[in-house]
Structures are given as C-alpha cells and as structure tokens.
Amino acid sequence: GAGVSQSPSNKVTEKGKDVELRCDPISGHTALYWYRQSLGQGLEFLIYFQGNSAPDKSGLPSDRFSAERTGGSVSTLTIQRTQQEDSAVYLCASSLAPVGGSLYNEQFFGPGTRLTVL
C-alpha cells in the first residue's frame, strides 16, 4: 500500500499570501499529525486529529494557522497571511491509533512540503 503523501513538495509564496498544504494519510489510519521543522531544528507539533474527535490544536503557533480533516482521511493545513518566519518543512504523519498513553503505534511520515515565504 501507498505511504503518506503530501502535496505540493515545494511551495514558494509571497509574504501575505495564503497557502494550503495537503496530506493523504495511509488508508485506515485513524490518527493524523502535522509537524513543522525549521532549518536544522527538531520537529514542532502543530495539530492532531483522531477519528471524529475534536482536533488537538494546542501546537498551532497563531490564529493564522488552521487545519481540517475531511471524512476522516485527507487533511489540509492552511496558513493565512504568510510571514517569512513560516518558512519551514511541514511534515504530516499518520498512525493506526494514538501514540499517547498506554496505546502505542509508530507514526508514518510523509515526505513533507518545503514552504518558502519571500
């Protein structure tokens, strides 16, 4: 089966524009995560979806960031009025079930979208 896919692979935009990043998780995976990785840094958690539950948005850095997950599958991360500090690689991951607490499953990562804000 296919792994996690993300599109576009690269996105260059001008400051102030809105961008949409897409993630297709592995079929059957109920949990979906978005992370951000700035150059040479670790991963910063952004948002988490699990089934039909309300998403965990605790990692979103500002109200310019939002995400949706339609039909429990594809997810879109939207950044409004982009700023230069938004430039990073945005990584999506999915897992069969949540990784927290007593239930564990590894996360499968997509190749990422490299966003450059000029």
Partner 1 sequence: SQQGEEDPQALSIQEGENATMNCSYKTSINNLQWYRQNSGRGLVHLILIRSNEREKHSGRLRVTLDTSKKSSSLLITASRAADTASYFCATGDQTGANNLFFGTGTRLTVIP
Site residues (CB under 8 A) for partner 1?
A: 4, 31, 33, 35, 37, 39, 41-43, 45, 48, 50, 56, 59, 89, 91, 93, 98-102, 104, 106-112
Is the CB of residue 85 less than 8 Å from the CB of residue 68?
Answer: no
Nearest distance, CB of residue 30 and partner 1, angstroms? 11
Is the CB of residue 47 less than 8 Å from the CB of residue 68?
Answer: no
**Between 2 and 39, CB nearer to partner 1:** 39
Q: How far, in Å, are 6, 79, 94 from residue 114 at the CA level?
A: 10, 13, 19
Nearest distance, CB of residue 77 and partner 1, angstroms? 15
**Between 17 and 45, CB nearer to partner 1:** 45
Is the CB of residue 48 less than 8 Å from the CB of residue 32?
Answer: yes
Separation CA 34–CA 114 (nearest Å): 13
Nearest distance, CB of residue 118 and partner 1, angstroms? 19
**Between 19 and 47, CB nearer to partner 1:** 47
Look-up of token digits 């965990």: 56
**Between 18 and 68, CB nearer to partner 1:** 68
